Structure 1
């Protein structure tokens, strides 16, 4: 089987060299990486840099006279990836480091003109790698943080695995689209069933009902970022219940799998799989839920198939369901509200509308009380 990013074989590891404590000086370490067994030599040693050729004694002399910090770093690939991608010889690594000299210098907070580096390629069995030594001509310059390491890893990873990374990001985009569309379709189907009082998810039914009512008294933009915290909680509850629906769960699992593959390229720590409501990339699903709730509140049909208007009511609805459809309640509320706000409506129509709102209040549609209060002021 061809190794892929998904098998965790295609990523760069990066670490401080654990052998440094055994070497008594930086120049001794340089000689060690340049001449140790399995180093790929260019003449008498394997040291290389941006210069076409490197004299080992001269490089060691430069290092001995340096009074500042020296960073020693290992970049490692798995054997199958190094062979497949052409990074199983020193020249490929030299070209890579030369292309990214500015990026590496920036990550280490060293001006490019002051940035100095040497490296050697070791053709180890399972993990061919390079040892790299880095410093600045100015002794007080240079700092390597976690963010700097992540930036260096990212630049090299994207360069080495460019084609595979592009394909992986394309798969991620497709998975994102499939998940958002599936969540929207599932939400609409559930609302369709709510309108027919055929409940699949009591939790979505309850939270959607509360959200519809809350939107009646909510001013401003009906978008997640503008809602108050209690309403955001309702939306989050709905989204997390949506994520339990088989079709949505399958799409979210596929998206997470691709994100895990990408994460392995930049980080050795496994990423956390958050609830769908807490995944920032999927804010669109939250706004889709709010939009559907607002359509219910306004009495609008949002389903692509509006044939539900002509569907017969289930014969056992009244017997098996003592609750009321939030869709049906919202429709009744909106009709009664329109009558009470109509200055040309007859007194009899006002009386019927008040009775409807009182009935809705008895059913637990609490926002009806707000409208009744406004009418009797």
Structure 2
């Protein structure tokens, strides 16, 4: 068993990229692989925007919009992580989504108090990531009444939060530890920081390798941006090898000369390229989800201007084709690199390894490309909804009225 890990930070509200970065961070914690999602929803975000019952938010975007707005207003949005080793989580009874929801609801006051936020002014949202070796909670929170920008949080604040969480979470374990150390004092009515430090040292020596691995994980990967989170776990070596062979096969079906661009390819070459795109979407579920997110965000934009179902259906096909064409052109970029490598070296030794390396890089860059497209399009949707007051355009209203004008008489 290892000790609890707590991290906390924020981006300065005055920085020009903070508002967008906070928006993206909400999307990251709510939807990334490993995030446990609500039934029939595409995200796992929950929390409270006001005192009351715990809420499963209708969409992660509703929280992201608020986060972006409070950043523009000069309020600090804190990003935090609470993590345990898997064995520890199981011993604590944190076995499913509802357990983790109950846990943070019990302990959110500790984060609030130590950051000097009155509980009635606390807004927070969290997501549970059930990763194999380190299940953890991402929690974002802010003070809705904040009027003065904070430039700095003393490191002692997250340290105090960590120690208080340990005191509250491991109360029974600390009692056992103190009894083992002959320091039991009438049920341990007061757990001091010294006892917490001793308890942590004791836990670390039980499994130092596991603790160091978890600590490094959150020292270097804090999930500041959806576009930077590690993606190697989303692709398998077998899929990389298969893609490398398919790229080599596609290379043989390309014209020997001329510019490699999708619109300029012969029909037969396009057919092979389109098949490869479909294979990638079939084999990589997360890539397919990102493409779908992009298409749905584009459709949200389209609905602001028209409500004609036939036009929207046609647009759906166009947006899907557009995303697939972007993927196809990115594949052609890798093929151009392959051709350049072949021309620069007549020796084919280790060529297969080179192709696999290129294939892996291609998969990672396709994921990053679609993440960026999906997120930027969703922010574009939010901006336009805000400008238009969340209503349909005049043209969309006119189309709706024309289709429904006779329905009252028919009844």
Q: TM-score range by the shorter chain?
A: 0.3 to 0.5
Larger Rg: 1
**TM-score relative to the length of structure 1:** 0.42
